[in-house]
Amino acid sequence: MRPIVTTTVAPSTSLTAEDRCDRCGAQAYLRVELASGLDLLFCAHHAREHGNKLREVATTVVDETHKLGGSSTPAAD
């Protein structure tokens, strides 16, 4: 019997400029991993809009909205 091989790569611990929002394509500042193993990426705007609900269903959350500094509102609000 042959072993099962996957090419899935674990998400990095931090987001980069190459990570894009799944809703609009802007730079992502929030990554959530679901129980199914899928990752979703969101810009700061969509993180604020959907952040609370996403945290309810996520197994892991990487929130880097603080990188925006200034007057950004954390996604948890």
Tell me the two tokens of residue 31: 């990554």
Q: What is the pLDDT of residue 6?
A: 43
Which one, of 6, 54, 8, lies nearest residue 30 by Cα? 54
Q: What is the pLDDT of residue 31?
A: 95
- Please report, as a single letter, which amino acid is at residue 77: D
Question: For the chain, where are the E strands, in sequence order?
Answer: 30-34, 39-42, 58-63
Q: What is the pLDDT of residues 7-61, one digit of tens each?
A: 444 555 789 999 999 999 999 999 999 999 999 999 999 999 998 898 899 999 9
Residues 6+ apart with CB under 8 A from 31: 11, 15, 19, 39, 40, 41, 42, 60, 61, 62
